[in-house]
Structure formats: C-alpha cells, structure tokens
Amino acid sequence: MKHVLGAVCGASVLLAVPAMAETTLTIATVNNGDMIRMQGLTSEFTKANPDISVKWVTLEENVLRQRVTTDIATKGGQFDVLTIGTYEVPIWAKKGWLVPLANLGADYDVADLLPKIRDAVSADGKLYAAPFYGESSMVMYRTDLFDKAGLKMPEKPTWDFVIDAAKKVTDKSAGVYGICLRGKAGWGENMAFLSAMANSYGARWFDEKWEPQFNTPEWKTTLTTYVNLMKEAGPPGASSNGFNENLALFNAGKCGMWIDATVAASFVTNPKDSKVADKVGFALAPNTGLGKNANWLWAWSLAIPAGSKKTEAAEKFVAWATGKDYTKLVASKEGWANVPPGTRTSLYQNPEYLKAAPFAKMTLASIDAADPNKPTVKPVPYVGVQYAAIPEFQGIGTQVGQQFSAALAGSMTVDAALAAAQTATEREMKRAGYIK
C-alpha cells in the first residue's frame, strides 16, 4: 500500500510540474506614481493567475524609449508589455511592431474608454494599446491670490485674461510669480506646452504639404507672448524648469498659476506634498477665441510588442491593469483620489470618485476639448496635439525646443529662434523626404 501511495504521489508531482510551469512577463514602465502603485498591486494579479509571474523594468522615460525601440526594431523579444505614450502608438502600429489588442476579454468594455483617448491609442480602427492613465493640460491657480487681487477665473479663460491676471498676482518681493510654465528644452517638455499654446493662437507645425510653419505670424505671436509673459510674471531661471520643477514651485506656494498636465492636480491638492493643497482652483487651458484651447492630450498606455512570445498572458495582464476592476482595487486599497485618471467614462460617472477628486470634472472637460485628429485651426497632415506623430518629430521637436528655451533665457531673440527653428525643421524634413 505504501508503495502504491508513493507511486501515486510521485506521479502526481511529475504531472503537476508541467501544469505549474510559469509564464514570466517582463514589463517595461516609467517611474510615475500610478505605475509604482500598479507594481505594488501586481500580487493581486498573480494571485488570480498563479501560472503567470511578473518582472518589472522601470526606466527613465527617454532611456525607456531608446531601450524599447532598440528591442522592438531588432525583434529582441526582451519585453512582453511596454508602457508607451500616444506619440508612439500610431507610428509603431504602422510599422507592425505592436500586437492589436483584440482579446482583452468579454468584460473589458472597450466602449467605456473615453473616445478621444481611445482614438489616440488606435490606428486604422484597431486598438493597439490600452490606456493606463490619460491626461490633458489645464490651468491650476491659487484661489487665495486671485481673491486678494480681486480676480475671478472664468471656466474657459482667454489668453488676455491669463496674461493680465499673471501680472496682477505677481509679487516678486514676496517670491510669488504670476505664472509658471515649462521652459526646459525637449519635445516632451517645453514643446509640449508651446505646441499646444501655438494651436490656440492658430499656428501649426506643418502645412498640408509638410512645409514647416515657424515663419508665420501665428508662431511669432505665440513665442513673443510666451517670452514676454515669462519675463514679466514668470519665476527666475524658467528656461530650466520642466514639469517637476514647476510642480515643486507651485507646491511651495510660489506660482499664481500653472498650466500643465491634469495629472498634477492630484499632487497639488495632496496636503502631504503641497503647502497650498486647499487653495487650488482649476480652469480649462486658455484660448484666443479661434476654437482651440492650449491643451494637449496624452495617455500612458500598455502595449504588447510583436516580438513577444507570451501574447496570451500579456493580454491578460493588460486587461487587468487597464480594466474597471483595477480601478475598484486601487480605490479599496488607497482611496478613490489615487485611481488612475482619464481613461474611462464610467469613472467620471462614479459619485464617489467625483467627491474624492475635485479636479475630475475639469480633467474630463480638458480631455474632451483636445482632438488629436484635428489639433489645429488650419488643416494639418499629422495626428497629435502637442506633437506630430511622425518618427522624425522627437529629434526635430527637441532641436526646436532648444531654440525656444534659448529665447526664453534671453540668449537669443524671438526672431532668431524662430528662424533657426524653421531652418532646422526644413533640413530634417528634406532629409526625411517629406519635402523637396
């Protein structure tokens, strides 16, 4: 009997080995708060899927982009799930680098994704990435400083109002600056803000024939307004300020207004990090009455590279991390205010979320106001609000960003910066074969 039992046990162990064989997913991501939270909650996913284990690779945004691009272009197969932005999705989908996400499960509810965000991560009507959190940009302002100056922020402010208010709120002797804006060079830094601002002034990156447009009066007005506004009402050394520097300034109470990513709203209203948490109001990004606001659209999304050999497990993970149940999981563990924002309609109909996140309404309105397929007043041949979704844009955007940052720092005039931007962009576009 003993022998029989032993044999049965042995056989069952042998049989169990292949059944327990684990699929290990390698997931590449960036070090943003929501992604860190997702890493922390991964055990819930592996508990529900014991045959899958997860390894995280967290990298700095630009390093990640380079790392992932090398791997995907050489079909290295090192990653099974990638965190990418709306800029990469249409380009990579066109190259056949991403797996279309057709099997996310019956209860995934693709129709619940916010239409603008869904468009931004789709190509040819197919979903190529699942949005993890979405963002636009908006005005965050200090209600106490506005009250003191006798100002009332409209829900849809114009640039004229914002400029006037910035000057009135500025009190340099007290270390308070009317407005904080991005100045650090980079296609995802100052150019994200300036491209969106230019859209509201009727400017565009390229005309219908891909001719660069920096020699137009619209761009001149945009850059002149920006440089003059920052000189009069901006903090010193603004040409080296990006998202994080401005976040620190705003949280320390040094900015009257800050126009930046909607995701910042949860940081500036968090009393643990912000000295002004209870004194912040929100409004749509400014306009000039031409029909476009100065706000962008972005979504950090999860995608599966074509080189992955574990597509099925990867799809399970993507569906889990971007599904409705994940939202509930975060809410139950860390509260509704910490739920990843900007991806699902149902979240903005949830009274508990609306109560916990005072910025929710304005975030949704901002996302709705951006249109990546029609980003500008005049027609354009590209997709993308604060970028043009072509592979060359990263390089061009950063070169132009350096010129504009120099104009802000005062080491170059606005005219010279625009001329240099025009020359550099023309050269790159000729080299890439868009224009002759």
Partner 1 sequence: MARKSTTQRVVVSTIGAWFFGFLIFFPILWMVLASFKTELEAFAIPPSFLFFHWTTENYATVQERSDYLLHAMNSIIIAGGSTLIALLIAIPAAWSMAFSPTKRTKDILLWMLSTKMMPPVGVLVPIYLIYKTFGLLDSRIGLVFILCLGNLPIVIWMLFTYFKEIPRDILEAARMDGATIGRELVYVLTPMAIPGLASTLLLNLILAWNEAFWTLNLSTSNAAPLTTFIASYSSPEGLFWAKLSAASTLAIAPILVLGWFSQKQLVRGLTFGAVK
Footprint of partner 1 on this chain (CB under 8 A)? 26, 28, 30-33, 36, 39, 55-61, 63, 66-67, 70-71, 73-79, 188, 243-245, 247-249, 251-252, 254, 261, 263-264, 267, 273
| Nearer of residues 285 and 412 to partner 1, judged by Cβ | 285
> 25: how many CB neighbours lie within 10 A of its CB?
25
The least distance separating partner 1 from the CB of residue 251, rounded to whole angstroms, comes to: 6
- Assess contact for 261 and 268: CB atoms under 8 A: no
Q: Pick the closer one to partner 1 by CB: 246 or 287.
A: 246
| Lookup: tokens for 428 | 């790159």
What is each CA distance from 95 to 51, 65, 88, 160, 259, in whole angstroms? 32, 16, 11, 43, 34
- Minimum separation from the CB atom of position 426 to partner 1 (A): 26
Taking the C-alpha atoms of residue 369 and residue 371, their distance in angstroms, rounded to an integer, is 7
List, in order, residues 6 or more apart from 394 with CB less than 8 Å away: 65, 187
Contact 193, 181 (CB under 8 A): yes
Q: How far is the CB of 244 from partner 1 (least distance, A)?
A: 6
What minimum distance in Å lies between the beta carbon of 55 and partner 1? 4
**CB-wise, 216 or 241, nearer to partner 1?**
241
Q: Closest separation between CB of residue 188 and partner 1, Å?
A: 7
Is the distance from CB of 132 to CB of 322 less than 8 angstroms? yes
CA distances in angstroms from 422 to 190, 231, 233, 309, 418, listed in the order given: 17, 24, 28, 44, 6
**Total residue count of the chain as it appears in this document:** 436
CB 267, min distance to partner 1, A: 7
Closest Cα to residue 170, out of 153, 145, 193?
145
Q: Which is nearer to partner 1, 236 or 433 (CB)?
A: 236
* Shortest Å distance, C-beta 70 to partner 1: 6
Residue (of 127, 72, 113) closest to 95 by Cα position: 72
> Distance (Å, rounded) from C-alpha 211 to C-alpha 86?
23
Question: At its nearest, how many Å lie between partner 1 and the CB of residue 72?
Answer: 11
Indicate the residue among 62 and 228 with the shorter CB distance to partner 1.
62
Query: How far, in whole angstroms, is CA 295 from its chain's centroid?
Result: 11
> Angle at Cα 337 formed by Cα 334 and Cα 343, nearest 5°?
105
34, two tokens: 């929501």
